């Protein structure tokens, strides 16, 4: 598999069978799809990626304490509330402070405290299929008008797959191709129940790759030379 700079759904499937030396009669496409899904989910949960960042604008409801989270949201990075109403994302705005739901319940006391929200909490999720929600936000004070709100969050992306249920390639398969392969091979050798040394080998290889990927996603992509300065690595001088 030398010379591959990224994996597609097709080439990753081939690579898994090549590395394990097990054909399609055992590692069917359905089984391999399970490996890929498990590997992608592992990476999504271990490393919050910039490619998964989203923004969504909506409008609060006057007198209504709650609002649906964006569909597919994994976690919320922040919420801005604008004094403008009816979806106008402009003008004065503030960032809400996140608190526990119990704090908000005490703060608003029977929904009688209204105004521009200052706090928010998140609850619920895992709603019934078709409801289109990933949980709910609670606000305090209760909105006294149809304030505009912008939600910043990370969303679970569509992974690799065939047909209309997936992509032929993704951000991970392009920019974290080796890590994705090693995560899939870890799943594959666990499924095949051995050999244990190969399972350990690819688990360790995955951990090495995820450390480098984390340094990129959580380090270099979150800084720049102008505001943070150029990264300098100390080089020890030879002893005299």
- pLDDT at residue 75, rounded to an integer: 87
Q: Report CA-CA distances (Å) from 61 to 71, 130, 146.
A: 18, 22, 5
CA nearest 63: which of 9, 15, 113?
113
CB within 8 Å of 16: residues ≥ 6 apart: 27, 32, 35, 181, 184, 185, 188
Are the C-beta atoms of residues 106 and 24 closer than 8 Å to each other? no
- pLDDT at residue 132, rounded to an integer: 53
Strand-pairing partners, residue 121, are 138
Task: Give the residue carrying structure tokens 């993704």.
Answer: 170
Are the C-beta atoms of residues 186 and 199 closer than 8 Å to each other? yes
> What distance in Å separates the CA atoms of residue 206 and residue 75, rounded to the nearest whole number?
24
**How many Cα atoms sit within 13 Å of 140 on the Cβ side?**
21
- pLDDT at residue 48, rounded to an integer: 85
> What distance in Å separates the CA atoms of residue 76 and residue 56, rounded to the nearest whole number?
11
Helix (H, G, I), strand (E, B) or coil at 5: coil
CA nearest 191: which of 34, 2, 78, 19?
34
Task: Give the residue carrying structure tokens 């690819």.
Answer: 202
And the tokens for 33? Answer: 């799809």
How do the pLDDT tens digits run along the chain, 240 residues long?
444 578 999 999 999 999 999 999 999 999 999 999 999 999 988 988 888 899 999 999 999 999 999 888 888 999 999 987 777 787 889 999 999 999 998 888 766 778 999 999 998 875 544 455 678 999 999 999 999 999 999 988 888 886 445 688 899 999 999 999 999 999 999 999 978 899 999 999 999 999 988 888 877 777 777 676 676 667 677 765
Strand-pairing partners, residue 79, are 151
- pLDDT at residue 191, rounded to an integer: 95
Cα angle vertex 143, ends 141, 149, to 5°? 110
DSSP state letter for 111: T
And the tokens for 164? Answer: 């209309």
- pLDDT at residue 4, rounded to an integer: 57
And the tokens for 49? Answer: 């990626």
Q: Report CA-CA distances (Å) from 137 to 14, 64, 67, 166.
A: 43, 11, 5, 29
> What distance in Å separates the CA atoms of residue 147 and residue 116, rounded to the nearest whole number?
8
């Amino acid at each position: 598999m030398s010379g591959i700079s990224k994996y597609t759904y097709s080439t990753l499937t081939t690579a898994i069978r090549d590395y394990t030396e097990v054909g399609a009669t055992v590692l069917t496409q359905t089984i391999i799809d399970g490996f890929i899904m498990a590997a992608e989910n592992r990476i999504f949960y271990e490393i919050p990626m910039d490619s998964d960042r989203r923004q969504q604008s909506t409008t609060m409801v006057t007198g209504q304490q709650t609002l649906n989270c964006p569909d597919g949201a994994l976690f919320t990075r922040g919420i801005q509330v604008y004094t403008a109403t009816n979806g106008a994302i402009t003008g004065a705005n503030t960032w809400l402070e996140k608190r526990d739901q119990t704090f908000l319940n005490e703060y608003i006391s029977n929904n009688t405290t209204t105004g521009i929200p200052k706090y928010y909490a998140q609850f619920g999720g895992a709603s019934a299929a078709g409801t289109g929600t990933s949980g709910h936000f609670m606000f305090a004070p209760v909105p006294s008008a149809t304030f505009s709100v912008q939600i910043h969050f990370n969303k679970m992306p569509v992974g690799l797959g065939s047909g209309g249920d997936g992509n032929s390639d993704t951000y991970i398969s392009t920019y974290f191709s080796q890590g994705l392969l090693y995560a899939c091979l870890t799943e594959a050798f666990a499924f095949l129940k051995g050999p244990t040394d190969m399972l350990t080998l690819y688990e360790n290889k995955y951990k090495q790759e995820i450390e480098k990927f984390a340094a990129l996603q959580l380090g270099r992509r979150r800084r720049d030379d102008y505001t943070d300065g150029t990264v300098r690595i100390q080089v020890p001088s030879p002893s005299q």
